[in-house]
Chains A and B, each alone.
Chain A
């Protein structure tokens, strides 16, 4: 009797989300370590984590939005626009704090715009964010008039490049924001409401939950996170760039889904997403070790995402 119970536990452990992600990360890490021993060094782990921190902060927003049953297709220019605002405002005012405040304010405005479109005008999230991305793209070019001005400030560069006890500050920022997000989702009423809205917004409406407020809140938080990621990215790159966030659009959704959050909404969490983010960058660094050309990298990247999803992201078989 006891034995069967133990067996069941083991099976459950292997097929549940957390251990699976940990196992996958370990496997990827070991494989890249065997192929390139330098990759086992703490300094390399830290450089992977630095890359993870930018995507990770973007994915806070993406996770929250996917949990409500949407998907944000405006990542690329939400991040880029915020970054441009930060760089240019800082340059014109000469004060990094004003730049930071302006960027966060723009983040809140972007979130309100998307949130009102989704919650009040009832436009499908994917379409609303698609349209917002187009609008933000124009805003970026109009604001900069085609010439990118400004650069990273000393403080922001330090955030991305300096370390505290061997851990880079941006990774610490990611960890702090990550813990806050997990706390928000698990322990606060607002967090539980996000899950409820994702399961059925009709039921939350009938349960006297202010669905519109929850949705708008989610989009505001998400956009502010993307604005913060934009600022940190400037610290990493040194100056803004129109295509700096293009790659993040697709991998942010991929990381969330690999992390075990259902694209249909209502199930998942941010801890899994953090694992998904690490998996994405371990795959990419593995492909770099294999010395693959960009063409091959893109193909293998897509194929690996498909294989991971086939391994555990499958839906139920249709049955009567």
Chain B
């Protein structure tokens, strides 16, 4: 009985993400047919390695979207942290005595702190500067990408292969590390944050900021925390990107900003705020990144990649319109039938 209630609560809370899971299921089935080693240990490993960066980036984006903001600086921040990680790895390792494990840990900690500080800067501009998030992150995005070029004027940097193997490999020969990291991000960052006072406040602020304020919710603190969490997620994504590419590239064309927004929205988040969850955003992010893989399997020109992503986004968002339209039509037909009966 209690279990039933929990399931209902779960479904109600995450109803918006269901569309994304339907699309994801289709994509995964197609993957299973096309990828020869889908059912071996390599299948999940390659899938999680493909989706992990966008998943983490879209989690950060979701937090901001919940406050009815939007973060246009995510992509630049990811590239900035990526460049910092690739540049400082070896110097830091030498500083801690040449041990690449200790050096790696120190690098990751430094990069995560940079990410949180960058997020805090965004947050301060929004909260204390009282500016709109879209214009703040527009400007800070330019600042972060300038900083990335400053840290790493040319693509490169040195990252030990062990670091790359650790983040992209498997634990115990079976479970992909990327899957564990994604689980850790959800369990250690999202869930505690969502259950904290600030995390609960996010939904209230996004729903109606004025009402939230009048009810004594600490809006400033909640927003500052939200931007810090978003910065942290971007930095984690930067670290993972460093592990995958083993270098930092300030000029890399990156779609993280656009795709993270698309993933969150595909997962049921509303740009008006107050709606969205990790559950949906992850499905959205997985769908968007796996479609690229599918097109490669089918030997479809990469020119179609953006087209397919864009159309899926528009179709997923139109579902609400078409269901409402169908309902309206049914009701109209019913009303006409009733009128006829009455006559």
Query: CB within 8 Å of B: which residues of A?
Result: 71, 73, 117, 120-124, 126-128, 130-135, 137-139, 141-142, 146, 250, 253-254, 257, 263-264, 293-303, 305-306, 309-310, 313-318, 320
Contact = CB atoms under 8 A, between A and B. Distances in A.
Q: Which residue, B129, B139, B150, B262, has most C-beta atoms of chain A within 10 A?
A: B139
Nearest to A135: B310
Say which size band chain B's interface belongs to.
35 or more
Interface string B210-249: 1001100001000000000000000000000000000000
A310 B131 contact: yes
Contacts of A123: 314, 317-318
A293 B323 CA distance: 53
A127 B132 contact: no
Contact of B209 (A128, A253, A318): A318
Contacts of B145: 298
B132 A298 contact: no
A295 B145 CA distance: 8
Contact of B306 (A137, A254, A299, A302): A137
B309 interface: yes
Nearest to A243: B253
B318 A142 contact: no
Nearest to B321: A121
Contacts of B72: 250
Interface string B127-140: 00111101110111
B129 A314 contact: yes
A186 B327 CA distance: 40
A309 B138 CA distance: 12
Nearest to A146: B303
Given A302-B141, A315-B132, 15 more contacts: A122-B320, A124-B270, A130-B313, A133-B258, A134-B306, A137-B306, A137-B307, A253-B135, A263-B135, A293-B149, A295-B147, A296-B150, A300-B146, A302-B142, A320-B214
B125 interface: yes
Interface in B61-87: 70, 72
B146 A310 contact: no
B146 A297 contact: yes
Given A295-B149, A315-B130, A302 B139 contact: yes
Contacts of A135: 306-307, 310-311
B261 interface: yes
B138 A318 contact: no
Interface of B: 70, 72, 125, 129-132, 134-136, 138-143, 145-150, 153, 209-210, 213-214, 219, 258, 261-262, 265, 270-272, 301, 303-311, 313-314, 317-318, 320-321
B321 A299 contact: no
Nearest to A258: B135
Contacts of A294: 146, 149
Given A128-B314, A130-B262, A313 B131 contact: yes
Contact of A299 (B129, B142, B271, B305): B142
Given A117-B314, A146-B303, A314 B141 contact: no
Contact of A142 (B70, B150, B304): B304
Contact of A306 (B136, B153, B306): B136
A297 B307 CA distance: 33
Nearest to A74: B310
B23 to A, nearest CB: 14
A279 B317 CA distance: 38
Contacts of A139: 307
10 closest Cβ contacts across the A-B interface? Answer: A298-B146, A138-B307, A302-B142, A299-B146, A134-B310, A295-B149, A302-B143, A135-B310, A134-B306, A141-B303
B139 A305 contact: yes
A138 B310 contact: yes
9 contacts: A124-B270, A124-B272, A127-B265, A127-B271, A138-B303, A146-B303, A295-B147, A299-B150, A309-B135
Contacts of B129: 306, 309-310, 314
B288 to A, nearest CB: 10
Given A127-B271, A134-B258, A303 B143 contact: yes
Contact of B305 (A138, A264, A317): A138
B150 A303 contact: no
A186 B142 CA distance: 34
A286 to B, nearest CB: 16
A121 B213 contact: no
Q: Which residue, B141, B265, B306, B309, has most C-beta atoms of chain A within 10 A?
A: B306
A300 B139 CA distance: 10
B131 A309 contact: yes
A123 B70 CA distance: 16
B216 to A, nearest CB: 10
A241 to B, nearest CB: 15
A317 B270 CA distance: 25
A137 to B, nearest CB: 5
Contacts of A127: 261-262, 265, 271, 313, 317
